[in-house]
Amino acid sequence: MARARNREEFPHAPLHAGLVVFTFLTVYPVLWVFTIAFSGKQSLALADLPESPTLWDRLRAITPWPERWSMANFASVFADQPFLAWLGNSALIAVATTILGVCLAMTAAYAFSRFRFPGQRAGMMSFLVSQMFPGTLMLIPLYIIVVQWLGLGSTRTGLVLVYGTTSVPFSVWMLKGYFDTIPKELEEAAVIEGASAGKIFWRIIIPLAKPALAITALFSFMSSWNEFILAATLIDKEEMYTAPVGLRFFVGGFSQQWGYFAAGSIIVSIPVVFLFLYLQKYLVSGLTAGSVKG
């Protein structure tokens, strides 16, 4: 406390005032979505304006508070719309992507971390460079390969394969960093006791790397759950939509079902928002550390 006085801090009251206003503006779009979701209507207006609105009416029209609370949008987005199927698609795809991506990444990361072999540096660099390939450049060939050659358009398998492999480089770099910190002595002791390489990997490295594996898996899950443009490009059957494509379907083009969109958005976002808040510190350190090294 003594130190705070010494430093002639700003008075806190104006800071709080500014922060409250700014935070309200920041949260406003979120409140807006909640209002529409619980309004029970499909309109994107927060309130209906009369013919000649007074100041109060106008103020009412921007207040993010529903005129009448109703769960109708949540009930009918599941009952009348194929939203449950879309959520199911997204969940299945995200889980399968995570399993595939982490399995591929952990073995590769282990090899990159523990073995010295020709092509090691080139392999790591190629993973890094692949992160610079622009999405649209990949989109056209992927569309041709997945839809026209492999015939996997509008299937979950196609998306899982694409998401799974594209998540590999990021996961490999994350996991390799962690594997590097596991002391080699543990393995050397195991080798002396006659353990095979496979045994060392499964019995020593994987259990020790559980926290890193969990975080990598969560990132994999989150990016697949949130992915929009590949899914929108590779899938054109309505029953095979993922949740993001489905949400766009509610309000894209001439469709104006804002109530369904808002209710669906809340359902889709809640798990990832919490996941994100939990993972955010790893993300920041991973991203900035990676790029300082260049």
Partner 1 sequence: MTKRPSHRLRFLVGLALAGGISIGVSWLLLRTERQQAAGARTEREAVVTLQSLADLVERAGRRGDPVRKALAAWQAANPSVRLARVAAFEGISLEASTAPEDKGDRAAPRRLTHDEKPLYDRGQRLRAAVATNREEGGARKPEIETDQLPSGALSLAAPILEAGEVTGMVEIEIQPVPPLPQPSLFPPIVAFLGPLLLLGLVALLLGERRLPLAAVSVACLALGFGAYALHSLASVQNDRVLSHEAVAAHARTQGGTARSVLAALGLEAGAPLQPGKWDVDAFRQPRGFLTGEGKLDPAALAANVERARGQAERALWGVGALALAILLLVGLGGVNRLAATLVAHRQAYLYVVPAMIGMLVLVFFPFLYGITLSFTDSNLYSVNLPITETWIGLRNYGDILGDFAFAHRAVDGSLVFDYLNFYWTLMFTVVWTVSNVTIGVTVGLVLALVLNTKGLALRPMYRVLLILPWATPNYITALIWKGMFHQQFGVVNHVIRLFGGQGLSWFDKPGTSFVTALATNGWLSFPFMMVVSLGALQSIPGELYEAARVDGASRWQQFKAITLPSLRPALVPAVILSVVWTFNMFNIIYLVTAGEPGSSTEILVTQAYKFAFERYRYGYAAAYSTIIFGILLVYGAIQNRVSRATEAA
Pick from 52, 80, 121, 134: which binds partner 1 (CB under 8 A)? 134
Pick from 72, 276, 282, 286: which binds partner 1 (CB under 8 A)? 276
Q: Does 94 bind partner 1 (CB under 8 A)?
A: no
Pick from 21, 29, 189, 203: which binds partner 1 (CB under 8 A)? 29
Q: How many CA atoms lie within 13 A of 43 on its CB side?
A: 10
Whose Cβ is closer to partner 1: residue 240's or residue 261's? 261
Q: Does 248 bind partner 1 (CB under 8 A)?
A: yes
Q: Does 93 bind partner 1 (CB under 8 A)?
A: no
Whose Cβ is closer to partner 1: residue 34's or residue 240's? 34
Pick from 17, 21, 23, 188: which binds partner 1 (CB under 8 A)? 23
Kindly determine how many residues on this chain lie close enough to bind partner 1 according to the rule CB under 8 A: 97
Q: Does 294 bind partner 1 (CB under 8 A)?
A: yes
Pick from 193, 210, 254, 277: which binds partner 1 (CB under 8 A)? 277
Whose Cβ is closer to partner 1: residue 12's or residue 68's? 12
Interface of this chain with partner 1, residues 141 to 180, rule: CB under 8 A: 141-145, 148, 161-162, 164-166, 168-169, 172
Interface of this chain with partner 1, residues 199 to 228, rule: CB under 8 A: 201, 225-226, 228
Matching residue, tokens 């975080």: 215
- 70's CB contacts (< 8 A; 6+ apart) are 38, 39, 40
C-beta of 189: minimal distance to partner 1 in Å? 19
Pick from 83, 86, 112, 241: which binds partner 1 (CB under 8 A)? 112
- Cα–Cα dist 260/33, whole Å: 11
Q: Which stretch binds partner 1 (CB under 8 A): 65-73, 85-93, 137-145, 181-189?
A: 137-145
Pick from 65, 84, 125, 126: which binds partner 1 (CB under 8 A)? 126
Interface of this chain with partner 1, residues 32 to 91, rule: CB under 8 A: 32-33, 43-46, 55, 58-59, 61-62
The terminus-to-terminus CA distance of the chain in angstroms comes to 41
Amino acid at 105: A
